[in-house]
Amino acid sequence: MLDMKFVRENPEAVRENIRKKFQDAKLPLVDAVIELDKRNREIKGEVEALRANRNKLSKQIGGLMAKGQRDEAEALKAEIAKEADRVDRLTEEERQVEQELHKNMLLIPNIIDPSVPIGKDDSENVEVERFGEPFVPDFDIPYHTDIMESFDGIDMDSAGRVSGNGFYYLMGNIARLHEAVLAYARDFMIDKGFTFCIPPFMIHGNVVEGVMSQSDMDAMMYKIEGEDLYLIGTSEHSMIGKFIGQQIKEDELPYTLTSYSPCFRKEKGAHGIEERGVYRIHQFEKQEMIVVCKPEDSMAWYEKMWRYSVELFRSMDIPVRQLECCSGDLADLKVKSCDIEAWSPRQKKYFEVCSCSNLGDAQARRLKMRVKGADGRTYLPHTLNNTVAAPPRMLIAFLENNLREDGSVAIPKVLQPYMGGITELRPKKES
């Protein structure tokens, strides 16, 4: 959410930003919020004047009563009562105006960074750099669930009966591999100096509103019936929500946190064959990284965070690339974002496994987070987030890139301690 003062003073810059995001339907919102803001300030000014006049008249009434001028005092009392009714009506109008203003401000997208490429949607995202050599073996690579089934590692039929589509049972060594990746990702980030956290997995509606846009909320979040609680779609939601309404001491920044959580998502819409299996699901687990920092430090942290993802994946022998998200692919709160995509030798293309985002001060403004500087002034911090590892999607990249022709899967050295020293997985038919 933008600062209203900025919108008031820079309406054309806000309109141009909306055009760059190809959201022209939102252009009328700029004039709407400027008018609502103007009316809001008019109301506040009139209410302040009326209350000042009431105080003045109240003092006069005391003087008139002391002099025995009862009729004049009663006339002033009637005037005060009339003005009190006016204050009540204005106060109710003020509430409605502020509510409408807030609703519209939530819909206006954040100002994107000048470095963001301009494009309509994810088809116009820009490849920046590749890490590791993409390799296609001279043998056929099965679909990822077929690989898992060769180890008796997945049961989607039973999950369908128990929970419906979009759920799964992971079994045996595949389940162990899933947890090994999460444990390795956790320790990887701890070694980078991040503090490990396990957050609440449900959050209040005001926190949801503070951390994400309305469209994202409708497409993702599951609400608990009869409660002001939502299941989180990522631990970023509750980790940033941790600071709601808080004043942070400047010398405590940056906060660098890595959090584990299950994630729950509606995943609305139809998806192609490559998004079946465990690619796009309603429930998964994830290790996340979160940074809360000074505004001047946020771009440096953005650069560090996506590079951590590259380092993690390369340590498991998975080729990746960085893809810069274009303006039309940025969620409304984001200033800048990139995806880290892993190589799929079966599909002979890359697919998303991490998303790194700088949200500027948007979440901080919505959540009323403040930093108190050494000079006593307060300001809004910047917030950033990035995926460390999100199995089981990450398992797709891992299994495909470490699969051997005989159906076995090599376990990279970094994961072997988390797998009890196992160096490879072999299909059950060979066990």
Report the alpha-carbon distance of residue 246 to residue 290 in Å, rounded.
17
What percent of the chain shows pLDDT beyond 90? Answer: 81
- CA angle (185 as vertex; 179, 190 as ends), nearest 5: 130
> How confident is the model at residue 227, as a pLDDT?
95
What class is the 122-430 domain?
alpha beta
Report the alpha-carbon distance of residue 221 to residue 402 in Å, rounded.
34
Mean pLDDT of 328-334: 95
pLDDT digits (tens, 9 = 90+) for 32-90: 999 999 999 999 999 988 888 877 777 787 777 777 777 777 787 787 888 888 888 99
Report the alpha-carbon distance of residue 107 to residue 288 in Å, rounded.
26
Sign of CA dihedral 295, 297, 302, 305: negative
Strands 255-264 and 247-249: unpaired
> How confident is the model at residue 67, as a pLDDT?
75
The domain spans of the chain are 4-107, 122-430
Asked if the model's pLDDT at residue 303 lies above 90, the reply is yes
Asked if the model's pLDDT at residue 6 lies above 50, the reply is yes
Spell out the residues 6+ positions from residue 23 whose beta carbon is closer than 8 angstroms to its own. 109
Residue 273: pLDDT band with limits 50, 70, 90: very low
Q: What is the mean pLDDT of the chain?
A: 93
Asked if the model's pLDDT at residue 218 lies above 80, the reply is no
CB atoms within 10 A of CB 141: 19
Which of the given ranges, 209-213, 317-321, 393-397, has the highest pLDDT on average? 317-321
- DSSP secondary structure string, 73-107? HHHHHHHHHHHHHHHHHHHHHHHHHHHHHHHHHHH
Report the alpha-carbon distance of residue 300 to residue 157 in Å, rounded.
46
Asked if the model's pLDDT at residue 431 lies above 50, the reply is no
Asked if the model's pLDDT at residue 123 lies above 60, the reply is yes
What percent of the chain shows pLDDT beyond 70? Answer: 97
Under CATH, domain 4-107 is a member of which superfamily? Serine-tRNA synthetase, tRNA binding domain (1.10.287.40)
User: Which whole-number Å values give the CA distances from 315 to 270, 308, 412, 416, in the listed order?
Assistant: 34, 11, 8, 12
> How confident is the model at residue 275, as a pLDDT?
53
Phi, psi of 43 (to 5 degrees): -60, -50
